[in-house]
Structure 1
Amino acid sequence: MDQPVVFINDSFVPAAAAALPVADLALQRGYGIFDFFKTVHNKPVFLDDHLRRFYQSADQMRLPVRQSPAALKAVIHELIQRNNIPDAGIRISCTGGITGDGYSITSPNLVITQQPLSPLAADAFEKGLTLLSYNHQRQLPEIKTIDYLMAIWLQPLVQQQQADDLLYFRHGLVTECPRANIFIVTEDDTVVTPGRNILKGITRKHVLQLAQDLYKVAERDVTLDELRTAKEVFICSTTKYILPVLQLDGAPVGNGRPGAATAKLNEVLRAYVHSLCH
């Protein structure tokens, strides 16, 4: 493959030639949605789930998608075939469209891109993550919008504190990381994750389903204090699978090492994805 192609509205075009008008509402006001999934050996992972969420986000943001789910799925499979990037990330974006007044939604622009996805470092799980808590609630949290303003604005603080990512909380209740869902494991080995004011991730959905066969599971409010004293804490996402959180705000979480439930769920999730793609 010399140069990847992208899909814009109705056409496949070389990535270097892909462009949207500067009057698009995504550029003018940051109005748009997206979804992101990965391919393993050229097979999309959890594609139906991601498409379902994409159309739900579009509907909630009043963005009519011209293509049907079946048509969009066909486009995605053709993109995978054309690019032949076996392990990749595919992003589907839908913008507010070209606006004359800089404020009104018009005909959305659809953009689908594909880029190689680097594997996690071999020691990523053992190394774990350090999170920095921050008092913030995302707008329209149940919708996967393109608004990552706070997460990006806070990157200098994250780096200064030598953290890997942020953990949002509001009124003492934990919600999510900017690009991942958060879980705790209690002393009685109940796997718990916040159930409201969050984006319900696709990997989160499958972790909950897989965990039900091994542990007690709950979706409920989780306080920041409860998370600080939890037996185990972990995050999950499309690109990271499951990674343990070993420090929060400079203090160790649990015993400071990856926990047994976290390790087991990561193993089960990876085996499940492997079974779907091989």
Structure 2
Amino acid sequence: MPANSPLYAYIHGQITPLDQAFLHISDLAIQRGYGVFDFFKVHAGQPLFLDYYLDRFYQSAQLMELAVPLARPTLLAVIQDLIRHNDLPLSGVKMILTGGYSANGYDPSEPNLLITEQPLVLPTSEQVTTGIKVITHDYLREIPPAKTINYSMGIRLIKQIKARGADDVLYHHQGVVTEFPRANFFLVKQDNTVITPATDVLAGITRRNILALPESPYPVSVGTITLEDLYQAKEAFLTSTTKRVLPVVQIDDVVLGTGKPGPVTLALLQALLELEVEEKQQQTAVATR
């Protein structure tokens, strides 16, 4: 697709130019911030790990008492059609399910399903080489297993994050670490074992892939991480669809390890990249049958 070609979106049961995709102001996503979403990566027309993202999307909808208006095979066909329309080399697809057009601004109605696709920018080599600084904040998301559209706390903290020269905020609840607003957290202990919070977090797909690496170079498990554990960590990193594995080199005022991305983090990043290559090859083989 030429660089300036218009993008398309799916809304109201059809694919339409993105600049013509609108919701009425009565939608509960606007009135009350009520809805769920999910987001996955597409490389050369092939979605990566799509089954896991669809599983989570339907689960989030169920947790929020919302009915996805399309059966899974139909939703998959719509996604594939939208990807063909946009024809982007590297992109992210976002599925949003809202509370629908509410007559009184509170009661849910028939949900609206929106699907958009945008070019995707991955972390730069400099970010990976340098790592990022994060701050901590006491906050627990409502219904952590659901990927809702409510990011109020993370957005409200942006000014504070920037004022402290940081890149992101890591949530904890009464001293027990949970997650970032848009990513999962992993800690590397002094013995090179790796742990990620077990409860009160969104089950990230990249998190799942790290936990399920067939030949992980280091032991990875789930468990409890406290603020005290953070400040004694050898390394740390976050995971997400858009950031993959991104090293964390400072938490609040504490520099971790050498202050640079460590070997455990970088080894797991390499293992994830290799897993993505395998997934791309598998999806390409399926598409060409």
TM-score category (smaller protein) = over 0.9
AA matched with 1:47: L
**Equivalent in the alignment of 2:207:** 204
**Equivalent in the alignment of 2:174:** 171
**Equivalent in the alignment of 1:27:** 30
CA distance in 1, matches of 2:216, 2:160: 39
CA contact (8 A) 2:216 2:271 kept: no
Q: Find the partner of 2:60 among 49, 57, 60.
A: 57
**Equivalent in the alignment of 1:216:** 219
Q: Find the partner of 1:102 among 102, 105, 113.
A: 105
Say yes or no: does 1:83 pair with 2:86.
yes
Q: Find the partner of 2:195 among 174, 192, 198.
A: 192
Computed over aligned residues only, the root mean square deviation of the Cα atoms, in angstroms, reads: 1.1
AA matched with 2:39: F
Count of paired positions: 278
CA distance in 1, matches of 2:135, 2:45: 35
Q: Which moved more, 1:212-221 or 1:113-122?
A: 212-221
AA matched with 1:88: S
CA contact (8 A) 1:211 1:217 kept: no
Shift of 1:9: 3.3
5+ unaligned residues in a row in structure 1: which ranges? none
AA matched with 1:42: G
Q: SS state of the match for residue 125, structure 2?
A: coil
CA contact (8 A) 2:216 2:268 kept: no
CA distance in 2, matches of 1:103, 1:216: 47
**Cα 1:151–1:133 shift into 2, 3 Å:** same
TM-score normalised by structure 1 residue count = 0.97
TM-score normalised by structure 2 residue count = 0.94
AA matched with 1:253: L
Q: SS state of the match for residue 210, structure 1?
A: coil
CA distance in 2, matches of 1:107, 1:45: 30
Q: SS state of the match for residue 213, structure 2?
A: helix
CA contact (8 A) 2:234 2:256 kept: yes
CA distance in 1, matches of 2:44, 2:253: 38
Q: SS state of the match for residue 144, structure 1?
A: coil
Q: SS state of the match for residue 16, structure 1?
A: helix
AA matched with 2:24: P
Say yes or no: does 1:243 pair with 2:246.
yes
Shift of 1:215: 2.4
CA distance in 2, matches of 1:243, 1:270: 12
Deviation per residue, 1:92-150 (Å, 9 max, x gap): 00000000111111100000000001232221111101001011111111100000000
**Equivalent in the alignment of 2:285:** none
AA matched with 1:69: R
Q: Find the partner of 1:146 among 139, 149, 155.
A: 149
